[in-house]
Structure 1
């Protein structure tokens, strides 16, 4: 791994001198990795997580579970049965144990850690304290805290409804029925569902707020629960709208291979779209619950074409970028990259359905507006998204606000605009380790780049 620029250093975003032609191996999905770690830790028997994402978010999750008593053994074997071209064969063996405190969990600024682990901590014996980065104190958590109290948990948060907090674990949780407003984050629902098989009564979660964002992530949670042996009734199965029921029962130890992170493939696909080149993303799954799969449709509408082959997803740009009017409510995490491409398009774009992005790692709508406009763009915030009118852009500093997707969005703009300087590109380590090297390799070699490539 090459040296990543120091935090808050300015990284000159490389400009593309011509068309990009590359094959990219994207690291494993953060969303799948962290759900798999939780489910494996709550299982009745050991399991394996293969090709996991090794990043800040997944390290925070594994460190937290270890602090609660879970055994996680990391191995690397090039002869692994799951090996692929460029794969190190990395695998984590998860050994469940009786969860216990006292312990302190550092959530960093990882939404999955700060929301998925308080329900797990209710199953531990002893006090579990949760703390994190300053931004984590501002991110919504009150709905999860209130729901857990309704289900029988004891939580001390000094009335903040946010971090820091202490879960007074009693070794079990009664569970039952709970109402929750998850309109700010689908993670509120996933957090309760993941631990529910271990609750005495399981759980019935009823969403009572506005439209739920990021539904693919809830479907991911449900599919992974079912694969681990849980009984889950969902709205998709013909039940009541926005109601999920998980029965109590033992979870199986699985041997799970983590899919590539399709949302992290976005900047590389954008490179093909912007330069009129071709990028192949290895091992793109033919069926997946990942929100990033929507890129096939969205980037095709913006001027590209794609084909799923045995080698992976082959995406080709036409040399033209078209504006788009799109509801991104289910795939909000793709908004920064789409906004970056839209700023280079030949017509106006309207990105809708993403008001919840104001509560992510940063206020992504405000941040995108300020940074693209700082390069000469014309972006305005709407009630639930962005309106982007393309204008000639110029170089300048693109601030990231410690947000990994802001950093990759800036790099995408830098492909076509000379002199873009990314402040704190190191924040990409949250979910995409070694991004600067992958990016520069793609442009310098324009043949093959990626982890292990």
Structure 2
């Protein structure tokens, strides 16, 4: 079979000849959109999602839920510039819950949220639901969800792999109850069980037994969104036991929800201000959010920038200098590629810690970052749980992405300061950030 041309094409990363000065409308949050789709599909009444993200991961989620019988109607108001507009203005999805059904076939692509959030939903379906996906998806751990669902009463055929492909034999309901899981490799194991738990006969009590738990902000996002649709959730933060979450069974409300901009996808644009000593405005940055990307305000300020959060959005300004950083990114691991790219351009070394779980993401992100930055002349060393980065003068070359959207945007950041960087398969950014090349060149006025 001939390779997909989009996967082999090289995109010349634009080089910044002057300080960036731009307003960038970042599309909606993938994490919020996909959680909202699941909750709305399990609700007892219709709901709306406004300004949802339209990307590969969210369209895979919507297609999977439709396969199981959920109605999802897409509308665009006449005042909107269209479904492909950068900010999604005017677009809305009407979610019409229905009896979940099988047989159905779900393509998860390489989306962690789809492959982990939907098996519990499928256990509630009336019939078998088969899950398959990209080759890399077969390597990503699912055992936390599969083993837990079996304890809670589900029947799953995965031939003992604890990974894709697999079939969930839905029985129309699930007992639920108490389950112990080790979510050290992905907080999505916890979120997956909590999202569907209000529909389990006994709800759920999830006890995390591992020594670490990455990406806690994503679990807090799940809890906040459950509470917003009427679920009763007890958490360690609300006075419960450490590492224990309880969800009471009950009906979920249909809501009218406007999706926040994806703050993690704002990262490359904020980095552009830092790298070029420029200024970038991200409209509609929320004053309060559970998105991990909000931590960029703190991290990039420490690395040499400054920010102002106002009613209209976030203004980030670079100082013209980039400083190294020693930081634990365990709660915000998805930010690691962009931070590593900036750190490779800094004036002092950086140590990024707490992210050993990134070896199990879309690719082994620690190995990929080390290899690609070093092949441009960098000096990056893998540690047991992260990266040590010693800045060196970089040169042009091919920056491979491994079908990983955050690798592509990391390469683009380096390209701002280093002439001759070519990004292999920049199209992979469509996973969560559609039209990235156009947004990027638009920011630069190219």
CA distance in 2, matches of 1:422, 1:136: 23
Q: Which residue of 2 aligns with 1:252?
A: 253
Query: What SS is found at the alignment partner of 2:348?
Result: coil
CA contact (8 A) 1:78 1:87 kept: no
Over residues 192-242 of structure 1, what are the superposed CA-to-partner deviations in whole Å (9 max), with x where a residue is unaligned? 000000000000000000210000000000000000000000000011000
Query: What SS is found at the alignment partner of 1:362?
Result: coil
CA contact (8 A) 1:19 1:277 kept: yes
Query: What SS is found at the alignment partner of 1:7?
Result: helix
CA distance in 2, matches of 1:436, 1:107: 24
Q: Which residue of 2 aligns with 1:50?
A: 50
Are 1:135 and 2:143 an aligned pair? no
Over residues 245-285 of structure 1, what are the superposed CA-to-partner deviations in whole Å (9 max), with x where a residue is unaligned? 00000000000000000000000000000000000001000
With structure 1 as the length reference, what TM-score do the two structures score?
A: 0.96
Q: Note the 1:27-42 alignment, pairs <5 A.
A: 27-42=27-42
Q: Which residue of 2 aligns with 1:240?
A: 241
Q: For structure 2, which runs of at least 5 residues remain unmatched after alignment?
A: none
Q: Note the 1:218-229 alignment, pairs <5 A.
A: 218-229=219-230
Query: What SS is found at the alignment partner of 2:183?
Result: coil
CA contact (8 A) 2:52 2:88 kept: no
Query: What SS is found at the alignment partner of 2:266?
Result: helix
Query: What SS is found at the alignment partner of 1:178?
Result: strand
Q: Which residue of 2 aligns with 1:146?
A: 147
With structure 2 as the length reference, what TM-score do the two structures score?
A: 0.97
Q: Which has the higher contact order (CA 8 A, sep 6+)?
A: 1
Q: Which residue of 2 aligns with 1:348?
A: 349
| Shift of residue 87, structure 1, vs aligned partner | 4.7
CA distance in 2, matches of 1:346, 1:245: 47
CA distance in 1, matches of 2:115, 2:441: 33
CA distance in 1, matches of 2:221, 2:86: 26
Q: Note the 1:49-128 alignment, pairs <5 A.
A: 49-79=49-79, 87-128=88-129
Query: What SS is found at the alignment partner of 2:265?
Result: helix
| Shift of residue 86, structure 1, vs aligned partner | 5.7
Over residues 3-42 of structure 1, what are the superposed CA-to-partner deviations in whole Å (9 max), with x where a residue is unaligned? xx82220000000000000000000000000000000000
Are 1:358 and 2:355 an aligned pair? no
Query: What SS is found at the alignment partner of 1:74?
Result: strand
CA contact (8 A) 1:281 1:313 kept: yes
Q: Which residue of 2 aligns with 1:423?
A: 424
- What is the number of equivalent residue pairs in this alignment? 440
Q: Which residue of 1 aligns with 2:19?
A: 19
Q: Which residue of 1 aligns with 2:322?
A: 321
Q: Which residue of 2 aligns with 1:407?
A: 408
Q: Note the 1:124-273 alignment, pairs <5 A.
A: 124-273=125-274
Distance 1:129 1:327, change over 3 A: same
Q: For structure 1, which runs of at least 5 residues remain unmatched after alignment?
A: 446-453
CA distance in 2, matches of 1:69, 1:362: 32
Over residues 418-447 of structure 1, what are the superposed CA-to-partner deviations in whole Å (9 max), with x where a residue is unaligned? 0000000000000000000110111126xx
Q: Which residue of 1 aligns with 2:391?
A: 390
Distance 1:396 1:20, change over 3 A: same
Q: Note the 1:265-344 alignment, pairs <5 A.
A: 265-344=266-345
| Shift of residue 91, structure 1, vs aligned partner | 0.2
CA distance in 2, matches of 1:134, 1:31: 22
CA distance in 1, matches of 2:356, 2:240: 28
CA distance in 2, matches of 1:262, 1:340: 17
| Shift of residue 88, structure 1, vs aligned partner | 3.0
Distance 1:190 1:85, change over 3 A: closer
CA distance in 2, matches of 1:308, 1:96: 37
CA distance in 1, matches of 2:276, 2:59: 35
CA distance in 2, matches of 1:165, 1:189: 19
Query: What SS is found at the alignment partner of 1:330?
Result: coil
CA contact (8 A) 2:325 2:349 kept: yes
RMSD: 1.4
CA distance in 1, matches of 2:274, 2:27: 21
Over residues 338-397 of structure 1, what are the superposed CA-to-partner deviations in whole Å (9 max), with x where a residue is unaligned? 000000000000000000000000000000000000000000000000000000000000
CA distance in 1, matches of 2:43, 2:88: 27
Distance 1:442 1:85, change over 3 A: closer
Q: More displaced, 307-316 or 228-237? A: 307-316
